């Protein structure tokens, strides 16, 4: 009797727990009936499911202007589709989002997932042994829906779709636009008050820095605490010192170029110059505080991406500021364009419970009016021919005649590379006065040593 | 006489105990065993991606791959972190406990104040100290300036790690102190009276009466702080996210499993977790053996 009771108790407990853990794995867990995806064509407003109430789950990271835009957009979407409730979740953009993204995709507990960029770096034949990017693993595992047949894809420039979210000839996401991050925001008033022009060469740039210093104004500010924002400036130097970054990176893999080459030493030397001329304590500034440092007028220039223009603007609408490419070389023509990346992309999960709702949401987002509003809110450079009346974006146009990808979008790393060459590989933050390494030559030699050590055996 | 009666009532307590046991097996013991298992695989956690047994590859990668300098530094940092935290936190905790165990005016207020950081939690404490240690606008920066010096604090390759240790001790000193106070309050007053007759007062009374009598509290505090310090990752994540030479083994486990830009490597993270477990296990057993030998009974 006792044994039977214990067995019964155990069985009930196990059943209870399995039921609690199992969730809705099947396609019948949700109220919606997703249409046959992939080749189903457009997501017309009245296609697919009936008026059953469904909840569209979207995950995104915190970016205040963009989040505000989406909150408004989601209201309009719900007005148009009253049966679809939008659950729009945002978390900090650091590893918190990576964690959320990973767990939600693994648990199939989202319909629309934001990817932090376009599909980059693209895996290359010559990079043998490189780890596959996570988006490629998701696609290869069949977790991401093929959007190739959807009508709304045609709303975007074919070249941008091809370069941002196309893999193996299929479109697996909707990229929302490009951003540039190889320039510096500058305070127009400080420049005007001191008779300064936007520098077009490295020599002109150092003169600007010297003039500002002589007037007691801190020339530069970086969000050194988070490291990566400083490396945006270093990527600016790289984009203007190297004639062809992609060829240099390929050369690193086959040994024809090295981290100790003169071009790399020049980049590191100039990066050290930036650190030496930054405001005191710049290594303690975190990324969230950088706009306020700039808005307060404590520094004349900051290194940041164009995506932060709306934040600066909202911080002080009267502040006059502009953006120019870091002139890493003395060749004005080489310095004349900005580099960057394809920013956020939306992906629909292949096993999403509300695929139909997700497609409707993307279709509505892709309508020219809504997309134009998004571009205005985000500060992105559009992937579609929409008219944006934004003085900041218009001012950037001359620098965007030939948009090029930045170093970290092209660089493919070797697995287990040491810390001086890990991630996107150039780590000028190790240089004095920020870090413990005194000279660019020492850092370059260390980087090459670690790169060689990580070579596939 | 057996207190639970006969029949079903007799076996009911055991049956009810099976429920927490099962919960423990499913949610704690099971996942722990799964970690051992995964440490020998190349699992990524991505649904639909096949994984394979890779033998000791993950352990080799952890200790002997091309980034071994950083990996070994993480292990060294973990050990240094644990050593400094255990010694300093308990020394200060004991000192404060002895002070506050006397009949001071407002002792309850002081106890509550010193215990407050424990209640605040890691995120709040971390944010408070990020502001305090901001080199441009934080009070610490201003204090350093008064002495004619400056530091990047949490962005300094030399100092960031020790500032994290400082914050960790600040957060949990109150916890150690409370356990010591409980130990101190359990010492009978007449032991001190007898000692006083034998000439033991001041330091001698502490050395020969107080300290031996609070040995169980020392054991508990030491073991808890060893385990806590070796497993610390949250405060490091909040303060530096592992930058500026502040990576530890526990933080590496998290980064390998989740916060990796390219892919999640559950196998490598599991191997890291196993190495971490080994450290915790060995130190706990050794210190438990050493400290329990010192404990005295009344």
Q: What domains sit in chain A, N to C, each tagged with a CATH number?
A: 32-179+342-397 (3.40.190.10), 183-337+413-453 (3.40.190.10)
Determine the distance in angstroms separating the CA of B114 from the nearest CA of chain A, rounded to an integer. 28
pLDDT of amino acid A387: 79
Q: What is the mean pLDDT of residues A111-122?
A: 93
Q: What is the mean pLDDT of residues A228-240?
A: 95
pLDDT of amino acid B296: 65
Domains of chain B and CATH, by start: 1-31 (no CATH), 39-294 (1.10.3720.10)
Q: Are B246 and B164 in contact (CB under 8 A)?
A: yes
Inspect the interface and report whether the beta carbons of B18 and A283 lie closer than 8 Å: no
pLDDT of amino acid A360: 97
Q: Which of A21, A95, A302 to mutate to test the interface with B (most CBs of B within 10 A)?
A: A95
CB-CB neighbours of B29 under 10 Å: 12
Better-predicted residue by pLDDT, A322 or B7: A322
Q: What is the mean pLDDT of residues B207-217?
A: 90
Tokens of residue A272, six digits: 């050290």
Q: Which of A14-23, A211-220, B137-146, B256-265 has the highest mean pLDDT?
A: A211-220
Question: Which of A17, A225, A450 lies at the smallest CB-CB distance from B26?
Answer: A17
pLDDT of amino acid A26: 34
Q: Which residues of B touch A105 (CB under 8 A)?
A: 46-47
pLDDT of amino acid B4: 66
Q: What is the mean pLDDT of residues A77-94?
A: 94
Inspect the interface and report whether the beta carbons of A284 and B153 lie closer than 8 Å: yes
Better-predicted residue by pLDDT, B156 or B136: B156
Q: Could you give the 3-state DSSP secondary structure of residue A1?
A: coil
pLDDT of amino acid A252: 97
Inspect the interface and report whether the beta carbons of A279 and B243 lie closer than 8 Å: no
pLDDT of amino acid B263: 67
Inspect the interface and report whether the beta carbons of A137 and B155 lie closer than 8 Å: no
Determine the distance in angstroms separating the CA of A391 from the nearest CA of chain B, rounded to an integer. 32
Sheet harboring A299-303: ordered strands across? Answer: A218-221, A299-303, A183-187, A321-325
Inspect the interface and report whether the beta carbons of B22 and A14 lie closer than 8 Å: yes
Whole-Å CA distances, A110 to A64, A104, B46: 21, 6, 15
Inspect the interface and report whether the beta carbons of B259 and A13 lie closer than 8 Å: no
The percent of residues in chain A predicted with pLDDT above 70, rounded, is: 89
Question: Which of B19, B70, B152 lies at the smallest CB-CB distance from A284?
Answer: B152
Going by their DSSP bridges, the two strands A178-180 and A339-342 should be labelled as antiparallel
pLDDT of amino acid A189: 97
Structure confidence at residue B258 as a pLDDT band (50, 70, 90): confident
Inspect the interface and report whether the beta carbons of B67 and A143 lie closer than 8 Å: no
N-terminal to C-terminal alpha carbon distance within chain B = 31
pLDDT of amino acid A106: 87
Tokens of residue A217, six digits: 């104004």
CB-CB neighbours of A405 under 10 Å: 20
Q: Over the stretch A212-233, which tens digit does the pLDDT of each residue have? A: 999 999 999 999 999 999 999 9
Structure confidence at residue A457 as a pLDDT band (50, 70, 90): confident
pLDDT of residue A426 exceeding 70, the answer is yes
The percent of residues in chain B predicted with pLDDT above 90, rounded, is: 65
Residue whose token pair is 């405001």:
A279
Within 8 A by CB and 6+ apart from A411, the residues are: A121, A249, A424, A425
Structure confidence at residue A27 as a pLDDT band (50, 70, 90): very low
Question: Which of A102, A108, A422 lies at the smallest CB-CB distance from B45?
Answer: A102
Within 8 A by CB and 6+ apart from A247, the residues are: none
CB-CB neighbours of A193 under 10 Å: 12
Reported in sequence order, the residue ranges of A263-392 that DSSP labels E, i.e. its strands, are: 299-303, 321-325, 339-342, 345-348
Whole-Å CA distances, A436 to A220, A447, B17, B73: 21, 14, 57, 16
User: Angle at Cα A15 formed by Cα A10 and Cα A18, nearest 5°?
Assistant: 120
Inspect the interface and report whether the beta carbons of A106 and B47 lie closer than 8 Å: yes
The burial of A176, by beta-carbon neighbours within 10 Å (0-12 exposed, 13-18 middle, 19 or more buried), is given as buried
The percent of residues in chain B predicted with pLDDT above 70, rounded, is: 96
Whole-Å CA distances, A369 to A159, A363, A408: 21, 12, 32
Give the lowest-confidence range in A31-40, A257-266, A388-397, B181-190: A31-40
Q: How far apart are CA B117 and CA A376, in angstroms?
A: 44
The rounded mean pLDDT for chain A is 88
The percent of residues in chain A predicted with pLDDT above 90, rounded, is: 72
pLDDT of residue A25 exceeding 50, the answer is no
Closest to A334 measured CA to CA, from A181, A160, A177, A182: A182
CB burial readout A413-441, b (16+ within 10 A) else e: bbbbbbbbbbbbbbbbbbbeebbebeebe
pLDDT of residue B298 exceeding 70, the answer is no
Distance of CA A205 to the CA centre of its chain: 27
pLDDT of amino acid B2: 65
Output phi, psi for A451, to 5 deg: -65, -45
Q: How far apart are CA A365 and CA A374, in angstroms?
A: 8
Residue-level length of chain A: 457
Nearest CA in chain A to B262: A133
pLDDT of amino acid A31: 33
Tell me whether 0.85 is exceeded by the ipTM: no
The rounded mean pLDDT for chain B is 90
Determine the distance in angstroms separating the CA of B143 from the nearest CA of chain A, rounded to an integer. 14
Q: Are A358 and A128 in contact (CB under 8 A)?
A: no
H/E run at residue A404 = strand A404-405
Closest to B160 measured CA to CA, from A318, A174, A225: A225
Inspect the interface and report whether the beta carbons of A143 and B47 lie closer than 8 Å: yes
pLDDT of amino acid A99: 85
Q: How far apart are CA A287 and CA A398, in angstroms?
A: 28
Helix axes B215-231, B68-100, angle to 10 degrees: 150
Q: List, as one string, the DSSP characters of A75-134.
A: HHHHHHSTTEEEEEEEE-TTHHHHHHHHHHHHHT--SEEEESSSS-SPP-TTSTTPPPPH
Structure confidence at residue B261 as a pLDDT band (50, 70, 90): low
Tokens of residue A170, six digits: 């299929």
pLDDT of residue A2 exceeding 60, the answer is no
Nearest CA in chain B to A455: B66
pLDDT of residue A36 exceeding 70, the answer is no
Q: Which of A94-108, A266-280, A378-392, B101-115 has the highest mean pLDDT?
A: A266-280
Q: What is the mean pLDDT of residues B79-103?
A: 94
Q: Over the stretch A69-79, which tens digit does the pLDDT of each residue have? A: 999 999 999 99
Q: How far apart are CA B198 and CA B204, in angstroms?
A: 11
pLDDT of amino acid B3: 67
Q: Over the stretch A383-415, which tens digit does the pLDDT of each residue have? A: 998 877 788 888 888 898 778 899 999 999 998
């Amino acid at each position: 009797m006792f044994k039977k009771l214990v067995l019964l108790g155990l069985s009930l407990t196990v059943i209870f727990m399995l039921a609690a853990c199992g969730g809705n794995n099947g396609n019948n867990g949700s109220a919606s009936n997703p249409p046959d995806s992939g080749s189903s064509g457009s997501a017309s407003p009245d296609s697919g499911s009936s008026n059953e109430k469904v909840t569209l789950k979207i995950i995104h990271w915190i970016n205040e202007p963009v989040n505000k835009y989406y909150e408004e957009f989601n209201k309009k979407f719900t007005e148009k589709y009253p049966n679809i409730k939008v659950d729009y979740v945002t978390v900090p953009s650091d590893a918190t989002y990576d964690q959320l993204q990973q767990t939600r995709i693994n648990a199939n507990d989202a319909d629309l997932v934001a990817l932090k960029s376009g599909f980059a770096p693209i895996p290359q034949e010559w990079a043998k042994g490189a780890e596959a990017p996570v988006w490629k693993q998701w696609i290869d595992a069949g977790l991401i829906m093929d959007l190739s047949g959807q009508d709304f894809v045609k709303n975007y420039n074919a070249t941008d779709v091809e370069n941002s979210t196309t893999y193996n000839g299929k479109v697996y996401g909707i990229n929302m636009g490009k951003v540039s991050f190889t320039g510096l925001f500058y305070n127009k008033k400080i420049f005007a008050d001191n008779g300064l022009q936007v520098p077009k060469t490295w020599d002109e740039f150092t003169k600007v820095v010297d003039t500002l210093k002589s007037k007691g104004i801190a020339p530069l500010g970086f969000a050194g605490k988070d490291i990566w924002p400083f490396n945006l400036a270093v990527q600016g130097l790289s984009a203007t010192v190297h004639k062809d970054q992609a060829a240099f990176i390929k050369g690193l893999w086959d040994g024809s170029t090295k981290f100790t080459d003169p071009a790399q030493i020049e980049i590191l030397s100039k990066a050290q110059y930036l650190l030496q001329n930054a405001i005191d304590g710049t290594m303690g500034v975190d990324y969230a505080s950088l706009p306020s440092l700039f808005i307060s007028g404590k520094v004349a220039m900051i290194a940041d991406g164009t995506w932060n223009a709306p934040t600066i603007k909202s911080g002080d609408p009267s502040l006059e500021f502009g953006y120019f490419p870091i002139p890493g070389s003395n060749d004005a023509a080489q310095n004349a364009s900005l580099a960057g990346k394809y920013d956020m992309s939306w992906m629909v999960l292949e096993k999403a419970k509300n695929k139909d709702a997700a497609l409707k949401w993307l279709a509505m987002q892709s309508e020219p009016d809504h997309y134009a509003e998004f571009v205005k809110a985000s500060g992105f450079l559009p992937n579609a021919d929409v008219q944006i009346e934004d003085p900041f974006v218009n001012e950037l146009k001359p620098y965007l005649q030939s948009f090029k990808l930045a170093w970290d979008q092209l660089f493919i790393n070797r697995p287990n590379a040491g810390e001086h060459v890990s991630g996107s590989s150039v780590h000028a933050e190790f240089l004095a006065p920020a870090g413990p390494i005194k000279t660019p030559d020492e850092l370059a030699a260390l980087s090459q040593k670690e790169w060689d050590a990580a070579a596939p055996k | 006489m057996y207190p639970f009666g006969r029949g079903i009532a007799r076996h009911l307590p055991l049956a009810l105990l099976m429920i927490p046991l099962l919960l423990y097996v499913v949610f704690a013991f099971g996942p722990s065993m799964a970690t051992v298992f995964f440490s020998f695989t190349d699992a990524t956690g991505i649904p639909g991606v096949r994984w394979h047994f890779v033998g000791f590859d993950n352990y080799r990668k952890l200790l002997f791959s091309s980034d071994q300098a950083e990996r070994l530094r993480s292990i060294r940092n973990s050990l240094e972190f644990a050593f400094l935290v255990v010694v300093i936190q308990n020394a200060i905790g004991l000192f404060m406990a002895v002070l506050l165990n006397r009949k001071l005016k407002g002792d309850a207020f002081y106890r509550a104040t010193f215990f407050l950081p424990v209640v605040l939690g890691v995120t709040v404490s971390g944010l408070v100290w990020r502001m305090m240690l901001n080199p441009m606008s934080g009070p610490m920066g201003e204090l350093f300036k008064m002495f004619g010096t400056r530091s990047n604090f949490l962005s300094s390759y030399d100092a960031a790690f020790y500032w994290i240790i400082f914050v960790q001790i600040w957060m949990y000193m109150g916890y150690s102190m409370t356990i010591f106070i409980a130990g101190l309050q359990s010492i009978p007053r007449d032991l001190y009276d007898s000692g006083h007759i034998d000439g033991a007062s001041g330091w001698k009374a502490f050395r020969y009466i107080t300290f031996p009598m609070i040995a169980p509290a020392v054991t508990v505090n030491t073991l808890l702080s060893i385990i806590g310090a070796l497993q610390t990752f949250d405060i490091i994540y909040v303060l530096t996210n592992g930058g500026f030479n502040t990576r530890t083994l526990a933080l590496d486990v998290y980064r390998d499993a989740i916060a990796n830009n390219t892919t999640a490597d559950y196998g490598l993270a599991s191997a890291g977790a196993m190495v971490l477990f080994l450290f915790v296990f060995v130190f706990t057993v050794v210190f438990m053996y050493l400290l329990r030998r010192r404990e005295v009974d009344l």
